[in-house]
Each structure stands twice: as structure tokens, then as C-alpha cells.
Amino acid sequence: MWWVRAEEPVPLAADYAGLATALQLPEHEASDQPAMAEAVRRWLEQHTGWLLVFDNVEGSVALCSYL
């Protein structure tokens, strides 16, 4: 399970990209948040059983690039 603060774009991107560190993906050392987020998204597509909680999201459009 991973909790993502989704009320604003900055914490949403940071929390989602932070999953790269928790998963120890090679991209976790990158300073490029979009690259980290893309690596997390690719990893999640290949590994089932995860629950992502997008807390306080204001509409599903904000989540399109994360799902």
C-alpha cells in the first residue's frame, strides 16, 4: 500500500515518485521526478497486488498520468 497526497500537483508528484525509492528502482536516484514517476508506473503495470491511495484528489483528470 502506498499513500499519495493528491490535493495539489506538487505533493502528488513527489509522493508518487517517492515510491521509486521504496521499491529501490534504479531511477530513484534521479532528480527528474517525471522520470521517476514513469518508472513507478511501469513497475506497477507489471506487479499486481498494490493499493495506491490518492488522498483528497480533486477529480480524476489529475491522476491520468499516474494510472
H/E run at residue 53:
strand 52-55
Tell me which residue of 48, 66, 44, 46 sits closest to 57, measured CA to CA: 66
Q: Locate 27 and state its grid cell.
A: 531511477
**Given this model, what pLDDT does residue 44 score?**
94
pLDDT tens per residue across span 11-61: 998 999 999 999 999 988 878 888 898 999 999 999 999 999 999 988 777
**Given this model, what pLDDT does residue 23 score?**
93
Tell me which residue of 1, 2, 9, 5 sits closest to 65, measured CA to CA: 9
